[in-house]
Amino acid sequence: MARRNSNVLSQDVEVARGQILEAAQSTFLHFGVAKTTMDDIAKAAGVSRPTIYRYFRDRDTLIAELIRLRARKLFVRGRKYVLDREHFRDQLIDGLIYLVDHGRKDPLIRLIVSPEHMDLAAAVIGTSKLASDLTLEMWGPILDKARERGEMRSDIDNRKACEWLGLVQLILVGRFDYDDPADPAHRRMLQTFLLPSFVHG
């Protein structure tokens, strides 16, 4: 990987963070998440390692921010896809299948949730509650609307529901044997075991 020219990091904090994240992303995809060091990221960004630490506490924090940014881009498309469905049952099942399928196609997320990196995924996503926070960000408004329409159980707390739903999504994203999102077996499984958690019997 070519080193960037030195002194190219923006004076604007948010722009500089974005430049570092871009360098980190390309480095992770080139070397793999497990083998990438902060020195590698600093070299790709054309700065010193202490400079990276001025913007990100550690490597896990940097990875978490990359996941957050990529997830939010996916959510823009995911919300539109979900809201094209009239009923909550279809929104939940179709939406989950959509998010899992597209999450699995994301090269960075795929690296992190691959079997050899599950310890990393647990550290970055689990401990920081990143998965549940992002799931709540995506699904919270949809759950609220479904509850208002009487399509969802009223005794469910959104945050608790999204903590659990986030774990389900993470498990499904990591299941590489689920190659075909249109496989009716996936839908039947979610309808049988997931749907009763959210809707009236």
Say which amino acid occupies 71: A
Cα–Cα distance measured from residue 58 to residue 13, given in angstroms and rounded to the nearest whole number: 17
| Confidence (pLDDT) at 12 | 87
Give residue for tokens 């990143």: 130
Dihedral sign computed on CA atoms, order 82, 88, 92, 93: negative
| Confidence (pLDDT) at 110 | 76
Report mean pLDDT in 10-residue bins for the chain, 201 residues: 56 92 93 90 94 92 89 94 96 94 84 69 69 92 96 94 88 74 87 92 65
CB within 8 Å of 188: residues ≥ 6 apart = none
Dihedral sign computed on CA atoms, order 99, 94, 185, 198: positive
What CATH number should be reported for the domain whose range is 13-56?
Answer: 1.10.10.60
CB within 8 Å of 104: residues ≥ 6 apart = 110, 113, 173, 176, 178
| Confidence (pLDDT) at 111 | 73
| Confidence (pLDDT) at 126 | 61
Residues of the chain with CATH 1.10.10.60: 13-56
Cα–Cα distance measured from residue 72 to residue 47, given in angstroms and rounded to the nearest whole number: 27
CB of 20 within 8 A of CB of 26? no
Closest by CA position to 88, among listed 151, 32, 138, 154: 151
**Burial class, 168, CB count within 10 angstroms (exposed 0-12 / middle 13-18 / buried 19+):** middle
What is the full DSSP assignment across 15-39? HHHHHHHHHHHHHHHHH-TTT--HH
CB of 56 within 8 A of CB of 65? yes
Residues of the chain with CATH 1.10.357: 60-197
Say which amino acid occupies 85: R
Q: Can you tell me whether residue 6 is helix, strand or coil?
A: coil
Residue 40: how many other CB atoms lie within 10 Å = 18
What CATH number should be reported for the domain whose range is 60-197?
Answer: 1.10.357
Q: In degrees rounded to 5, what are phi and psi of residue 101?
A: -60, -45
